[in-house]
Amino acid sequence: DQLLAHFRSYYRGIVVWDERVPSTSNLASTIAGCDDLLAVRFDPSEGSLYRRLTEGKDALPVKVLLMRDDGSPLFTGTGIIPDTSVASSGSAKCDAYLWLIEHYIKTGKTNPRCLGFYLDAFWLKCWNAWGPDGPALANHDFIIAHRGVVFDLDVWDDEAPVDDPRQRPGTDVATLRKLFRAAYNQFNGNGVIEVPGFIPWAYKYTTQRCPAWFAGGHHEGVPTEWHYASILSCFNAFMDGDALGLNAMPNASFYQHYPLAPYYPQNPKPTQASLTARGLLDAKGRVVPHAYVAFYVGDYDSSAWLYHMLPSMWSDPGRGSTPLSWAFNPNLSGRFPLGMAWARERRTTNDWFIAGDSGAGYINPSYLTPPRPQSGLPSGLVAWENHCERFFKQWDL
C-alpha cells in the first residue's frame, strides 16, 4: 500500500488480463507501458490483489479490461476480432496480438523499435519446467519503460505450439511476422528494432523434455534459435538474447539511466612500430611467420548474462595474465550501461574489447539484404551500419 501510494502520480489505473487467454498477460505489460497502468490478473476471489486494488475508498479504476464485461473471454479465435474489422486467425492467443497491432502499434502508441520476447502466463501451467527465474518477469520493466511490445509466439510454420495445439500450424509465426511488419512500418525501415528476450525453449516451441514437462515442439532448441534470428534479421531487428540459465535481469529500467561517457578509448593500441619492436612484424611490415593464437571470449550477446557473470569474471585474480578479446556486444550498454563502463574502467593492458557476432546486437547479416525470405523487405544494411557505427565509435571498437 505504501509503494502504491508513493508512486500514485505515475499510474492512472489498472489493465486487467485474463489467464484463460494467457497471451493477454503480455498485452497487459505492453498496455501498462503505453497507457501508464498497472498490469493485474483478474481474480475475483476474496483477498486477491485484483479485489484489493479495485475495491474500497482507494479503489483504482480499470482503464483496460482484456475480457468482456460479463466475465467471458474477449478473444475466442472466432468471427471478427473485437473492436476491429480483422477476421479471427482461428486462435484466441494470436487474436490478442492482432488486436494489439490494430489498437496500439498501428496507432503509434507503442515504441516500434522496442519489442521483447518473454513468456506469457502459460508458464503458470508448466512452472516446474525451469526454476523460478525462468519466466523472466523482472525483465518486463525495461520494455514497459520504453513503451515497447511484449510478445510470445512460435517461430515455425509446420507446427501448432504446445500452448495452443488447436490452432492451424503456422498461425503463431504468421502473427509474429505481422507484428514485426507493423512495427517496421511505423519508422519505414529507417532504423532497427531492439528485441530483448529469447526462445523459451524449456517451456514451448522445442523438443526439450524434463521429468515435469515436454515443450511440445518438433524442432530442437538451437535450430529454433537460428530460425528465430533469421526472422528478426529480415525485419531490421536484433536480439539482446536473454537465454534461459542466466536470463532474469531486474531493474534494467533503472540501470539505463547510468550516465555513460561519450567515448571509451582502448589504449595503447598496437601500431606498426610497436608490433615491429615486439618482433611480430619485420622491417618491411610483414607478419613474422609463427603459429599465432587469439582468444575470443563470448558470446556476450545478452545484457542479463553479462549482468550475472561480470562481477565474478572481473574480480578473478587471473584476469590480465593472458591477452583476451572480450566480445561484449556494445548494445548491452542500453540495459546494462554501468556494467559496461565498470569493465572498461577496470581493464588491464591484456583486456581487449571487440564486437561479438554480429556487431551491436545478435543478427544474421546475410538477411539484411534482399532476398529477405521472411519479409520481402528492401535492404536494411545501411540501417544496421548506422546503428553499429554509433556504438563502435563510443566504445572504440
Q: Which residue has the cell 559496461?
A: 340
CA distance 325 to 139: 28
Nearest to 143 by CA among 199, 179, 197: 197
The pLDDT assigned to 359 comes to 93
Residue type, 185: N
pTM exceeds 0.75: yes
Cis preceding-peptide flag for 371 (omega within 30 of 0): yes
The pLDDT assigned to 269 comes to 85
Question: In 187-302, where does DSSP find H-type helix?
Answer: 221-233, 252-255, 272-277
The pLDDT assigned to 351 comes to 96
Nearest to 141 by CA among 153, 150, 131, 130: 150
Q: Which residue has the cell 502473427?
A: 175
Residues 6+ apart with CB under 8 A from 145: 33, 253, 256
Distance of CA 81 to the CA centre of its chain: 27
Instruction: Report DSSP state, residue 107.
Output: T
CA distance 188 to 338: 32
CA distance 153 to 199: 9
CA distance 26 to 42: 14
Per-residue tens of pLDDT for the chain, all 397 residues: 899 999 999 999 999 999 999 999 999 999 999 999 999 999 999 999 999 999 999 999 999 999 999 999 999 999 999 999 999 999 999 999 999 999 999 999 999 999 999 999 999 999 999 999 999 999 999 999 999 999 999 999 999 999 999 999 999 999 999 999 999 999 999 999 999 999 999 999 999 999 999 999 999 999 999 999 999 999 999 999 999 999 999 999 999 999 999 999 998 888 999 999 999 999 999 999 999 999 999 989 999 999 999 999 999 999 999 999 999 999 999 999 999 999 999 999 999 999 888 899 999 999 999 999 999 999 999 999 999 999 999 999 9
The pLDDT assigned to 377 comes to 98
CA distance 59 to 51: 9
CA distance 325 to 9: 47
77: exposed, middle or buried (Cβ count in 10 Å: 0-12, 13-18, 19+): buried
For every residue of 115-184, DSSP letters joined together read: EEE---GGGGGSGGGS-TTTT-GGGHHHHHHTT-EEE-----TT---TT-TTSPTTHHHHHHHHHHHHHH
